[in-house]
Structure 1
Amino acid sequence: MAIQGIDLSIIWSVLIAFGIMMYVILDGFDLGLGILFPLIEDKEERDVMMNTVAPVWDGNETWIVFGAAAMYGAFPLAYALIFEALYLPLIFVLAGLILRGVAFEFRFKATAEKRHVWDKAFIGGSVLATFFQGVALGTYVSGIPVVNRQFAGGAFDWFAPFPLFCGIGLLITYALLGSTWLLIKTEGMLESRMRHYSRPLAYVLAWVIVIICGWTAFMHQDIAHRWFHGSHGMLTGVITLLALALLCALQKSLRYRHSHQPFVATLGLVFLGYAGLVISVWPNIVPPSIDFWEAASPTTSQLFALMGTLVILPVILMYTLWGYHVFRGKVKPGDAYH
């Protein structure tokens, strides 16, 4: 919907994309810690891993709430179709996030004899939430069948090779985010282990990206055409070159034992993957058939919600930035926030 030359649907699509991207970045390395947990057996090192995100992990999940609420208000048709198509995977995601959150809090209060139970719950919740986020993404890219503005698929459309592989791919992505985050926040043997794990994770992620891109192009000729023709073709080439440059920069920074650069390079790779997703589905919000304008709510509803969003969004951003500023620096054994 447009009002006096301003397309509110475009504004809302940018805001929703921003919210989801913030969630992937911030909660991604949180979940990555749980994925990496089985590789670390030392109790003290596990405590340090948890304490690197203890002050901020719950605030990171604010962004997925923002993204979902924004979609509900601005694009109710898309909200209804996507959530109906992804009902089961999203239920599993929520179950994993709840299990992870409960385990996070109870682990700090458990006795030494019982702590292993909550460690396992933390691992299980992190893996469950991450895997089914990837499954949901893969199902979304595969396309959501719609007939007469109604979901026309089945409850188990997500149970297919491509979405399941995307689930595995997101496990690798979040594990790399987690390992490079720990390079910033830890030192000693734990930092050395994370540097050791980050290098193969980066190579595996590169292959996962190549396979997913090739698989997507094979399944959807329209997406392949969009990638390689017209102005999108040049943009695809730029994204590919930047991804190769970031992968090289990531490996080089790991060799030279930089602390922050590997995480920044990993964030760059995630962002480029996200940009590739946007190029693949734009202007559809429910691929392959429902675009942003068809799914949009009335102009008055979008405008009313936007007024509130422009007030609350800067507050969320400032809170997030302030939290990370206050708890910056390395975390050492014995540090605690509970």
Structure 2
Amino acid sequence: MPVAAGLALALLMLPVSGAFAEPKPTLAQAKKKLEKLNEQADQVVEKYNQASEKWKRARKKYRTLNENLNRQNEQVAGLREELVTMAVSTYQVGVVNGWEGMIYQSDPGALLSGLAAADQMSTSRAQSLSAFDEATKALRTSRDQAKKALSEADETRDDLAREKAKADKMVKAQTKILRGLNAFRTGNPESPGIQYNGSASGNARAALQFAFAQVGKPYRYGGTGPGGWDCSGLVQGAWRSGGVSLPRTTWEQWSWGASRKVSLSELQPGDLIFSEGLGHVSMYAGNGQIVHAPQTGDVVKVVPLSAYGRRIVGAVRP
């Protein structure tokens, strides 16, 4: 076999990955991949936030039940001590002051008094035993409830850990592309923001003033301030400043606003704008602008609604 033909055959038989380096993606390809990652990240972060809220509720439920359990434990312990004291007292007194002693009383008045005391002691004992029995049953029920709540909390904690791992992986991928494009923005957790000078009034104005004061702070998934925010955390914090309590996640906020939906053609400053899939929410600032916490590698900022970059599903007016 000629030498040249042998070399050509050897090259053809080399593994592709070993023979040729994978071409570096073009700027357009990198941006397209980043856009896809950002859309996926919206859903991943939302699931993380849902798991986080579920974990918080489960943990609160367990703590409440556990506190009740501890109180009931103390109550049962007190009743148990009371019964022990009663039993010891009965044993020490014996029959001297019991029925046999009363039967041989020569004084009828003393006999009647003794019978009344015995009857009272018997009623008191019965009441104590009944109270102890009921408290013990309640304790068992509370213990079972607390055990179940703890199990639920453990499950939601595991769900949270899995969703966090997915979110961390997504952030790592986004960060890699952004740094490659030299477009990663760290933001400033101490940013003083900018002043809101729009036309909003009342609660909406207070909410927008708060949101504008966060401009320049980093996007941080799961962030509820003050040094970093995700999209739903920002609008929740802003409207809390305006005196309105919103749920934590975008899905919950959209559901909360079921009877408060408004047309996009009738937007007013302060309205919440939701993306298709409910993975992202922003706040309308007026004059065709929005304020929002976009995604990993970016900061809270004010941009034209036309530059939103996501398909819009609707709007809600808090």
| TM exceeding 0.5 | no
Higher fraction of helix: 1
TM-score (norm 1): 0.32
TM-score (norm 2): 0.33
Higher fraction of strand: 2
